[in-house]
Amino acid sequence: MKIELQNEDKIVVELTRTDLKTLDITYEDMDYSNIETRRVIWTLLDEAKRVLGKDISPAERMLIEALPLEDGGCVLYFTVLPSSGYDKNSKRLVMKKEAEPILLYTKDCDSFIGAVEILKDMGGRHKGFNSYILSDAYYTVVYPKLTQSDYFIRNLCEYCDIVDADMTKISEVSEYGKHLKSFSERIDSGAPVLSAENIASRN
């Protein structure tokens, strides 16, 4: 087991296959709605307190992100969330194995092309993306890998407006927008990025 303090609000816990066996849980079984996962989470937070001397209580608002490792282990990211500005009745702890999609928006063709070119170079950080044109605006729905959302927001904000996890708008764009296949990419796709002139000629 490897425990690190990434910053004041985030702890990273890396578990090997042997660690998971010792904790009597698998990555597939991890779900905070069941008592066994909660037992493991509390055990890991107690161990993090012992190793790092930092107390993170399950009573705090917290995001837990879980990623599988190729060796059969997994990595858990514990992030303490701000307590202000939230409904007192909302869930205090959320566990995710998938990141929410990010919606990019721009009316400028060159900016759209620039964003797609960057996405093509970020293949290791996302699972794919789909681009659309709707009402003379360009939209791209990006499916980031877990813990990578902030990276996309930092690197794409100069090209597009970014709406994080606006599922209503994403559904609208996906249903009514014209899908630009040449500017979309699933894993191992490798479709070429075309020029702005070629896009304009298609619309």
Q: What is the pLDDT of residues 59-90, one digit of tens each?
A: 667 888 888 887 888 999 888 876 544 444 44
**Residue intervals in the chain for CATH 3.30.70.1950:** 102-202
Q: What is the rounded CA–CA span in Å between residue 85 and residue 117?
A: 36
User: 123-144: string of b/e by CB count within 10 Å (b at 16+)?
Assistant: eebbbbbbbbbeeeebbbbbbb
pLDDT, one tens digit per residue, over 7-35 is: 888 899 999 999 999 999 998 888 888 89
What residue ranges in 51-196 does DSSP mark as E strands? 62-68, 74-80, 93-96, 102-106, 126-134, 137-144, 161-164, 178-179, 185-186
pLDDT greater at residue 4 or residue 164: 4
- CATH node for 102-202: 3.30.70.1950
Residue of 81, 49, 77 whose CA lies nearest to 64: 77
Residue of 43, 72, 75 whose CA lies nearest to 56: 43
Which amino acid belongs to residue 95?
M
For tokens 């606006």, the residue is: 166
Torsion of CA 167, 168, 174, 175, to 10 degrees: 150
pLDDT, one tens digit per residue, over 124-147 is: 888 889 999 999 999 999 888 767
